[in-house]
Amino acid sequence: MITQVSDSLYSQLIKTYGGNLPSAEPRSLDEIRKQAFERFKSTGFPTVKNEDWKYTNVQPLISQHYELDAEPSLVAVDLDGANIPQLDAYRVVLVDGKYHAGLSDTVDMPGLSIMPIDQAFERLCFAKYFAEFADKTDNPFVTLNTALFTAGLFIEVGKNTQLSKPIHVIYVSNARQPVFNQVRNLYVISTFAEAEIVESFVTDPQAARSLNNQVTEIVVREGAKFQHYYLQTAASQGSYLNHTEVYQEKHSLYNNYNCTFPGPAFVRNNINVRLGDSEVESHLYGVTLTADNQFVDNHTIVDHIHPHCESYEWYKNITQDTSTAVFNGKIFVRPDAQKTNAFQQNNNMLIGEKSAVYTKPQLEIFADDVKCSHGCTIGQFDNEALFYLRARGISEAQARVLLVHAFAFDVTSRFANTVVREYVEHLVEEGL
Amino acid sequence: MLSIKNLHASVDDKEILKGLSLEVKAGEVHAIMGPNGSGKSTLGNVLAGREAYEVTEGEILLDGKDLLELSPENRAREGVFLAFQYPVEIPGVSNINFLKTALNEIRAYKGLPPLEAREFLNRVKEKQKLVEFDAKLANRSLNEGFSGGEKKRNEIFQLAMLEPKLGILDETDSGLDIDALRIVARGVNQLRSQENAFIVITHYQRLLEYIVPDFVHVLYKGRIVRSGTKELALELEEKGYDWIKETVDAEKAV
Ligand SMILES: Nc1ncnc2c1ncn2[C@@H]1O[C@H](COP(=O)(O)OP(=O)(O)OP(=O)(O)O)[C@@H](O)[C@H]1O
Ligand SMILES: [Mg+2]
């Protein structure tokens, strides 16, 4: 069924790539791409008739014209927006989706490999894991990405390797003409390894519009621990579809901290975590502060497949002006997943009288011996608290900052990295 | 210091203060007593600037400055401090952080630089001792999970930290055990000076044995209907409010 033939981007993609997919690669990848492209051709882009896209209308984004696979611009890149004060990290920079060696640190830590994804095609673990997870979902943007990506990152943290400092990945939009970027990442955290990756999304002040369709597949192998931060701080000309698919093995820990701030006009995050064995622990935290006419949608899936696993999810939305935030949290507890412990909480603070929040917890529990809880609140500023603070001499503006910090505290206090936490708290303050 | 003249205030178009007048001079302590619902907390809230209360008539001057013109924060910066009858809990805002922000905003208003970290901590220590406020509580979230008595003590700790010109204590004694009552009273007595003044709202003569007032007023139906010295409080303790209510209602009926 072809539903979107009239879309400018759809027809542009079909015209450009039909029978002409990116290649010069292992044949197995060519085949995966071909199948993905056929799949995308038949589904097209999602519409609001699709339950997963009910509040998220991509039509305005895909009816525009973009340059596909644009050559990286050679003009200077402004990375100031990505600077996290006091953060000592390996820096990796992708300009318009493409790895930029000049701006990235050379990393020669034993057990750590960081490279452009196209250099990893021949690797064993690429063959083993690529498209094994994300493509099992029915997100059309994933199939499109699989078919057409040309750039992205491959990170492998070797067996028993503990990174001495975090990896800071910076995605900067820099192109001076409208572009459609498709970044594809694969992160493998090997058995008993420990890693921390902080990903910042920023915009060069002179950049044109961009639509970014990014897919990241993550494997957290047995006994491994992975702390993963998303800091979405791009500017209004940026729109982002960011799909993260995590597969966890036995005794592993995955923590995701997903933060979005005023700026990008459109953000859709899909964060799916498959707890692929027993004794797995996953934490998903989110802080979304929106402003102006921003639209930010966080869709998460926590998939309990095996017994004795624990998941903990807490998302906070603060909406200002005429912005919109969406939260959709699915938790599956499959029949074998006895003794599951699953917690989900979503709290919303509507500051803008014309702002909106759509929130939907979705628990599907097929095992009987489990502990699952979820809750959802929507509120405004607590005027009693506001008055209390002002009655002690604190200005109204500062009182609001304190109260929003307090609202976000349940989440920010969970940040394992205090430097990142301070940075996020600062961004919250700036965003109010 | 404080001059209230013919104050009328209402909530939701319901008049609660109906022509209240009160003069408080520097160095004085005034006690305000009165039956439930007579308007005592309303007076405190109007002084602090709570927006739900609409002043329809009258004036309030603090050292000649028109309080009614000022926002709640500017009143606090001018030296008004209301110790709330029901302090709110604000999870996630640390007590200490909150006090530092408040103190420094008040200082900035007066053109003073922020307190240095060490000075601030010394002050915290000193005042904690003064009101025997547990350091553990000071480091917790503002009033979160505090017992009723701990919340009241926190109000006095804040008062000690901010050193206001005019302290209004709204039933700070209710919910305090005998020891806590003595400690709070001792704290207030040590803070008393010729430069500041206190309005102490209470139902109990007991508190006034510790914080000895210069004047006692009875508020009834939104007005001060009796004023006297501390002996008036004793008389009220003995006779209750009925004799005042009767005479006032009789006067009104005439
Ligand atoms: N925000 C409000 N909305 C509606 N009515 C109010 C509000 N605040 C006060 N009132 C009413 O005004 C009257 C006076 O209340 P106030 O709290 O000032 O009394 P009080 O003298 O402090 O009483 P108490 O001794 O019980 O503390 C009461 O009838 C109360 O119900
Ligand atoms: Mg009262």
Residues of B in contact with A399 (CB under 8 A): 73
Residue of B nearest to A388 (CA): B88
Q: Which residues pair with B7 in a beta bridge?
A: B20
- Across the interface, of B88, B92, B101, the residue whose CB is closest to A394 is B101
Going from the C-alpha of A367 to that of each of A45, A328, A364, A372, A382, the distances in angstroms are 35, 22, 9, 11, 39
The answer as to whether A80 is a domain residue is yes
Per-residue pLDDT of B58-90, as tens digits, reads: 999 999 999 999 999 999 999 999 999 999 999
CA of B41 to the centre of ligand 1 (A): 7
d(CA A248, CA A201): 25
Per-residue pLDDT of A385-398, as tens digits, reads: 999 999 999 999 99
Backbone angles phi and psi of B52, in degrees to 5: -65, -20
Contacts of A101 (CB under 8 A, 6+ apart): none
pLDDT for A4:
40
Task: Count Cα atoms within 13 angstroms, Cβ side, for B30.
Answer: 25
Considering the domain architecture, whether residues A238 and A145 belong to the same structural domain is answered as yes
Considering the domain architecture, whether residues A375 and A396 belong to the same structural domain is answered as no
pLDDT for A275:
97
The answer as to whether A287 is a domain residue is yes
Number of folded domains in chain A? 2
Mean pLDDT of B36-47: 95
pLDDT for B254:
61
Question: Distance from B74 to chain A by nearest Cα, in Å?
Answer: 6
Per-residue pLDDT of A317-350, as tens digits, reads: 999 999 999 999 999 999 999 999 999 999 999 9
Considering the domain architecture, whether residues A304 and A422 belong to the same structural domain is answered as no
Mean pLDDT of A289-317: 98
d(CA B49, CA B4): 14
Which position has the token pair 């409010």? Answer: B241
The answer as to whether A413 is a domain residue is yes
Tell me whether B151 touches chain A (CB under 8 Å). no
Mean pLDDT of A292-307: 98
The answer as to whether A279 is a domain residue is yes
Q: Pick the residue whose CA is nearest to atom 13 on ligand 1.
A: B37
- CB count, 10 Å around CB of A394? 27
CATH number at residue B131: 3.40.50.300
Which of helix, strand or coil describes residue B221? coil
B84 contacts A387? CB cut-off 8 A: no
- Indicate the residue type of A253: L
> If we measure between CA atoms, which residue out of A175, A169, A241, A239 comes closest to residue A204?
A175
Which position has the token pair 């064995």? Answer: A277
Residues of A in contact with B93 (CB under 8 A): 389, 402-403, 405-406
d(CA A291, CA A262): 5
Number of residues in chain B? 254
With a pLDDT cut of 70, the percent of chain A lying above it is 97
d(CA B188, CA B198): 9
CA of A427 to the centre of ligand 1 (A): 41
The answer, yes or no, to whether residue A6 has pLDDT greater than 60, is no
Per-residue pLDDT of A156-192, as tens digits, reads: 999 999 999 999 999 999 999 999 999 999 999 999 9
Q: Pick the residue whose CA is nearest to atom 26 on ligand 1.
A: B36
Question: Distance from A430 to chain B by nearest Cα, in Å?
Answer: 17
Cβ–Cβ < 8 Å for A219, A245: no
Going from the C-alpha of A135 to that of each of A44, A130, A215, A244, the distances in angstroms are 15, 9, 10, 11
- In this structure, the residues whose C-beta lies within 6 A of any atom of ligand 1 are B 11-12, 16, 34, 36-42, 52, 85
The answer, yes or no, to whether residue A224 has pLDDT greater than 60, is yes
Per-residue pLDDT of A98-129, as tens digits, reads: 999 999 999 999 999 999 999 999 999 999 99
> If we measure between CA atoms, which residue out of B204, B242, B199, B248 comes closest to residue B222?
B248
B92 contacts A410? CB cut-off 8 A: yes
Considering the domain architecture, whether residues A366 and A432 belong to the same structural domain is answered as no
The answer, yes or no, to whether residue A411 has pLDDT greater than 90, is yes
The CA-based angle B14-B18-B21, given to 5 degrees, is 145
d(CA B41, CA A382): 20
pLDDT for B205:
87
pLDDT for B134:
84
Backbone angles phi and psi of A306, in degrees to 5: -120, 165
> If we measure between CA atoms, which residue out of A248, A246, A249, A247 comes closest to residue A258?
A246
Tokens of A271: 């964060």
Considering the domain architecture, whether residues A392 and A293 belong to the same structural domain is answered as no
Name the CA radius of gyration of chain B, rounded: 18
d(CA B118, CA A1): 70
In this prediction, does ipTM exceed 0.90? Answer: yes
Tell me whether A398 touches chain B (CB under 8 Å). yes
d(CA A102, CA B97): 43
Considering the domain architecture, whether residues A323 and A389 belong to the same structural domain is answered as no
Q: Looking at A320-427, which runs of residues are DSSP E strands?
A: 324-333, 341-350, 356-365, 371-379
Strands B65-66, A112-116: pairing kind: unpaired
Considering the domain architecture, whether residues A405 and A263 belong to the same structural domain is answered as no
Which of helix, strand or coil describes residue B120? helix
Of the candidate ranges A220-234, A329-343, A399-413, the one whose mean pLDDT is the lowest: A399-413
Mean pLDDT of A208-228: 98
The answer as to whether A33 is a domain residue is no
- Indicate the residue type of A115: M
CA of A104 to the centre of ligand 2 (A): 64
The answer as to whether A51 is a domain residue is no
> If we measure between CA atoms, which residue out of A183, A173, A315 comes closest to residue A236?
A173
The CA-based angle A125-A129-A135, given to 5 degrees, is 160
pLDDT for B51:
92
Considering the domain architecture, whether residues A423 and A295 belong to the same structural domain is answered as no
A383, A388, A392: best to mutate for the B interface, most B CBs within 10 A: A392
CA of A400 to the centre of ligand 2 (A): 27
pLDDT for B244:
84
Tell me whether A366 touches chain B (CB under 8 Å). no
Considering the domain architecture, whether residues A389 and A378 belong to the same structural domain is answered as no
Which position has the token pair 């502060």? Answer: A289
pLDDT for B77:
97
The answer, yes or no, to whether residue A1 has pLDDT greater than 80, is no
Boundary-marking domain end, from A382, A403, A422: A382
Task: Count Cα atoms within 13 angstroms, Cβ side, for A357.
Answer: 26
Structural domain boundaries enclosing A432: 383-432
Considering the domain architecture, whether residues A178 and A194 belong to the same structural domain is answered as yes
The answer, yes or no, to whether residue A293 has pLDDT greater than 60, is yes
Q: What is the dihedral of CA A39, A45, A49, A55, to 10 degrees?
A: 130
Residues of A in contact with B76 (CB under 8 A): 390-393
Tell me whether B231 touches chain A (CB under 8 Å). no
State the DSSP H helix or E strand holding residue A387, giving kind and residue range, or none if neither. Answer: helix A383-390
CA of A305 to the centre of ligand 1 (A): 56
> If we measure between CA atoms, which residue out of A233, A225, A328 comes closest to residue A283?
A225
The answer as to whether A23 is a domain residue is no
A406 contacts B158? CB cut-off 8 A: no
- CB count, 10 Å around CB of A142? 26
Tell me whether B96 touches chain A (CB under 8 Å). no
Q: Looking at A17-79, which runs of residues are DSSP E strands?
A: 67-68
Which of helix, strand or coil describes residue B201? strand
The answer, yes or no, to whether residue B161 has pLDDT greater than 50, is yes
Alpha helices (H) in chain B, listed in sequence order: 40-48, 72-78, 95-109, 117-130, 135-138, 148-162, 178-191, 205-210, 230-239, 242-253
A387 contacts B73? CB cut-off 8 A: no
Considering the domain architecture, whether residues A254 and A132 belong to the same structural domain is answered as yes
Cβ–Cβ < 8 Å for A297, A55: yes
d(CA B237, CA B40): 18
Structural domain boundaries enclosing B78: 2-40+49-253
Of the candidate ranges A70-74, A250-254, B6-10, B49-53, the one whose mean pLDDT is the lowest: A70-74
pLDDT for A7:
65
pLDDT for A378:
94
pLDDT band for A2, please (50, 70, 90 cuts): very low
Considering the domain architecture, whether residues A311 and A412 belong to the same structural domain is answered as no
B244/A361: higher pLDDT: A361
Number of folded domains in chain B? 1
Q: What is the dihedral of CA A213, A153, A68, A95, to 10 degrees?
A: 100
